[in-house]
């Protein structure tokens, strides 16, 4: 039997969003945010003005206890800016600030009901939490055939889901909307589907057009109309890095919000790539339902907070506070634009170089227009054997994906080195094929 606090949250969802309740895994139905120590500590923080002996931190005077050898590396910050615990759901000010940013970056979300983002330890942690909340062993998780391998670990291995693949690229290039729709409808009888949408895509660096995004939304609507619940998970780790006019400049999440009462839209994003702070591990989960209200969103947020509390307790206070300060600074926006221009120039340089005629016999580039990566389909050589030869003979590192594909992270290659990179890669491929 679920805890009484979990039952209370479940009752809210059953009353106001019954299809969302159906989507919860068995673990998701049992999750709750404990009152206990956390609630008592929060109450004491407000009222214990004389002596507060509740929190599990050490203090000296009014400042958290600290080692000078640690704090010297945080110049300009006080111990209380870096070292305390954060709430399990994240710093309230950062959550509110990130939500404001979502509306600015996705104008069509204005006036649509969204949860307050919950802070995660990066996007991968968010993916894992979604697995805890919504995936039981044997449940169907739909992934594209061009996919970041860690999805298989998160859902296939850790949650024992059945992984179903849909084709990412269509015959004429671009996202295969028809294949995506057919795969959804072919599995509608399962009752609930978890659908992973990753744009800009890792490993291909492709992001959808407006027309393709509309097609995705129409496909999700069709399967929901067929009586199937859909947990539509938008992995937006590389959001904003759109280099061509054809790209949808919003998240597909914005197309899915409010689409149908059987659709739960989930946005996973974060400062990790958007703000170039990979190791700070600041990510977010945001929920949206057609019938979402404050009670339902609070239930989802508390269950998510319970999942975090029961796993890592809370995410880094220092990382969250640093990001909050940075986002509130006057130069934040312009600094991001400067870095975007550098990455866009690299992507366009890759396109220019790969247009050369002599490369066509050794590989075919997949379409790319966004993010950190692009992929090549090798014509005559095995991708892993090619990767190893590049590494051993030429000192060049790339990633093999399956038997035929090579992923190139142009994000970490200076623009002036891009022509040399592909020239050496071509030379190696010709050596092997001859």
User: pLDDT band at 96, cuts 50/70/90?
Assistant: very high
What pTM was estimated for this model as a whole?
Answer: 0.95
Give the integer Cα–Cα distance in Å for 184 and 223: 6
- Reference 267, options 252, 247, 249; nearest CA is 252
Contact (CB, 8 A) for 403 and 375: no
Residues 268 and 319 in one domain: yes
What is the pLDDT at residue 194? 98
**Cα-based torsion angle of the residue sequence 253, 255, 258, 260 in order, rounded to the nearest 10 degrees:** -100
Residues 317 and 367 in one domain: no
Give the integer Cα–Cα distance in Å for 320 and 333: 18
First vs last C-alpha separation in the chain:
66
Question: Is the model's pLDDT at 414 over the cut of 90?
Answer: yes
Question: Is the model's pLDDT at 37 over the cut of 90?
Answer: no
Residues 314 and 346 in one domain: no
Residues 243 and 204 in one domain: yes
Residues 337 and 320 in one domain: no
Q: Is residue 74 part of a domain?
A: no
Residues 299 and 356 in one domain: no
Residues 161 and 135 in one domain: yes
Averaged pLDDT score across all residues of the chain: 95
Give the integer Cα–Cα distance in Å for 263 and 116: 18
* Maximum distance among all Cα pairs of the chain, rounded to whole angstroms: 81
Residue 32: partners with Cβ closer than 8 Å, 6 or more residues away: 2, 3, 5, 6, 8, 9, 302, 303, 306
Q: Which of 309, 327, 345 is the last residue of a domain?
A: 327
Q: Establish how many alpha carbons lie within 13 A of residue 416's alpha carbon, considering only the half-sphere containing its beta carbon.
A: 0
What is the pLDDT at residue 158? 97
Q: Is residue 97 part of a domain?
A: yes
Residue showing tokens 């075919």: 364
What is the pLDDT at residue 140? 98
What is the pLDDT at residue 172? 85
Domain housing 429 = 333-433
Residues 259 and 337 in one domain: no
Q: Is residue 398 part of a domain?
A: yes
What is the pLDDT at residue 53? 81
Show the 3-state SS of the chain.
Answer: CCCHHHHHHHHHHHHHCHHHHHHCCHHHHHCCCCCHHHHHHHHHHHHCCCCCCCCCCCEECCEECCCHHHHCCCCCCCHHHCCCCCCCCCCHHHHHHHHHHHHHHCHHHCCCCCCCCEEECCHHHHHHHHHHHHCCCCCEEEEECCCCCHHHHHHHHCCCCEEEEECCECCCCCECHHHHHHHHHHCHHHCEEEEEEECCCCCCCCCCEHHHHHHHHHHHHHHHHCCCEEEEEEECCCCCCECCCCECCCCCHHHHCCCCCCEEEEEEEEHHHHCCCHHHCCEEEEEEECCCCHHHHHHHHHHHHHHHHCCCCCCCHHHHHHHHHHHCCCCHHHHHHHHHHHHHHHHHHHHHHHCCHHHCCCEEECCCCECCEEEEEECCCCHHHHHHHHHHHHCCCCEEECCCEEEEEHHHCCHHHHHHHHHHHHHHHHHHHC
What is the pLDDT at residue 48? 77
Residue 245: partners with Cβ closer than 8 Å, 6 or more residues away: none
What is the pLDDT at residue 38? 67
User: pLDDT band at 44, cuts 50/70/90?
Assistant: confident
Residues 291-325 pLDDT 10s: 889 999 999 999 999 999 999 999 999 999 999 99
The structural domain count of the chain equals: 2
**φ, ψ for residue 407 (rounded to 5)?**
-100, 130
User: pLDDT band at 92, cuts 50/70/90?
Assistant: very high
What is the pLDDT at residue 346? 98
Contact (CB, 8 A) for 184 and 195: yes
Average the pLDDT over 238-257 and give the result: 97
Question: Is the model's pLDDT at 54 over the cut of 90?
Answer: no
Edge-to-edge strand ranges of the sheet holding 162-166: 118-120, 283-289, 263-270, 229-235, 192-198, 140-144, 162-166
Residues 291 and 425 in one domain: no
What is the pLDDT at residue 292? 87
Q: Is residue 402 part of a domain?
A: yes
Q: Which of 297, 327, 357 is the last residue of a domain?
A: 327
Q: Is residue 235 part of a domain?
A: yes
Q: Is residue 389 part of a domain?
A: yes
Share of the chain above pLDDT 70, in %: 99
What is the pLDDT at residue 1? 67
Question: Is the model's pLDDT at 18 over the cut of 90?
Answer: yes
Residues 224 and 165 in one domain: yes
Question: Is the model's pLDDT at 418 over the cut of 80?
Answer: yes
CATH number for position 177 = 3.40.640.10
Q: Is residue 82 part of a domain?
A: no
Average the pLDDT over 271-276 and give the result: 96
Question: Is the model's pLDDT at 332 over the cut of 90?
Answer: yes
Residues 194 and 318 in one domain: yes
Q: Which of 275, 301, 327 is the last residue of a domain?
A: 327
Does the bond joining 200 to the residue before it have cis omega, within 30 degrees of 0? yes
Residues 351-408 pLDDT 10s: 999 999 999 999 999 999 999 999 999 999 999 999 999 999 999 999 999 999 999 9
Q: Is residue 50 part of a domain?
A: no
Residues 264 and 358 in one domain: no
CATH number for position 358 = 3.90.1150.10
């Amino acid at each position: 039997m679920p805890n009484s606090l979990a039952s209370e949250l479940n009752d809210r969802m059953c009353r106001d969003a019954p299809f969302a309740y159906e989507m919860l895994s068995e673990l998701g139905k049992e999750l709750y945010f404990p009152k206990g120590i956390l609630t008592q500590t929060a109450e004491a923080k407000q009222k214990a003005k004389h002596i507060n002996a509740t929190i599990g931190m050490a203090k000296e005077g009014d400042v958290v206890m600290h080692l000078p050898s640690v704090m010297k590396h945080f110049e300009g910050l006080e111990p209380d800016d870096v070292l305390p615990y954060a709430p399990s759901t994240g710093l309230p000010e950062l959550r509110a600030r990130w939500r404001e940013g979502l509306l600015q970056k996705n104008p069509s979300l204005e006036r649509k009901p969204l949860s307050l983002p919950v802070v995660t330890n990066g996007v991968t942690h968010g993916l894992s939490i979604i697995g805890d909340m919504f995936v039981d062993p044997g449940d169907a998780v739909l992934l594209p055939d061009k996919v970041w391998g860690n999805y298989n670990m998160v859902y296939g291995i850790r949650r024992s889901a059945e992984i179903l693949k849909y084709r990412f690229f269509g015959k004429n290039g671009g996202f295969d909307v028809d294949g995506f729709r057919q795969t959804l409808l072919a599995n509608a009888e399962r009752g609930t589907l978890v659908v992973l949408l990753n744009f800009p895509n890792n490993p291909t660096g492709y992001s959808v057009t407006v027309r393709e995004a509309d097609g995705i939304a129409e496909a999700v609507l069709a399967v929901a109309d067929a009586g199937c619940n859909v947990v539509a998970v938008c992995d937006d780790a590389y959001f904003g890095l759109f280099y061509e006019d054809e790209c949808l400049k919003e998240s597909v999440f914005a197309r899915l919000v409010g689409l149908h009462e059987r659709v739960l839209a989930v946005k996973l994003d974060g400062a990790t790539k958007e703000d170039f702070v990979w190791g700070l591990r600041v990510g977010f989960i945001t929920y949206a339902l057609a019938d979402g209200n404050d009670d339902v969103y609070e239930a989802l947020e508390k269950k998510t907070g319970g999942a975090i509390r029961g796993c890592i307790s809370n995410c880094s206070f220092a990382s969250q506070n640093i990001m909050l300060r940075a986002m509130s600074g006057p130069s934040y926006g312009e600094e991001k634009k400067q870095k975007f221009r550098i990455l866009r120039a690299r992507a366009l340089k890759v396109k220019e170089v790969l247009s050369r005629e002599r490369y066509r016999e050794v590989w075919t580039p997949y379409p790319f227009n966004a993010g950190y990566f692009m992929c090549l389909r090798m014509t005559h050589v095995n991708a892993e054997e090619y990767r190893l030869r590049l590494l051993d003979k030429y000192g060049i590192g790339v990633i093999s994906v399956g038997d035929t594909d090579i992923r190139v992270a142009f994000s970490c290659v200076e623009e002036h080195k891009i022509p040399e990179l592909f020239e050496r890669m071509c030379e190696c491929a010709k050596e092997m094929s001859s």
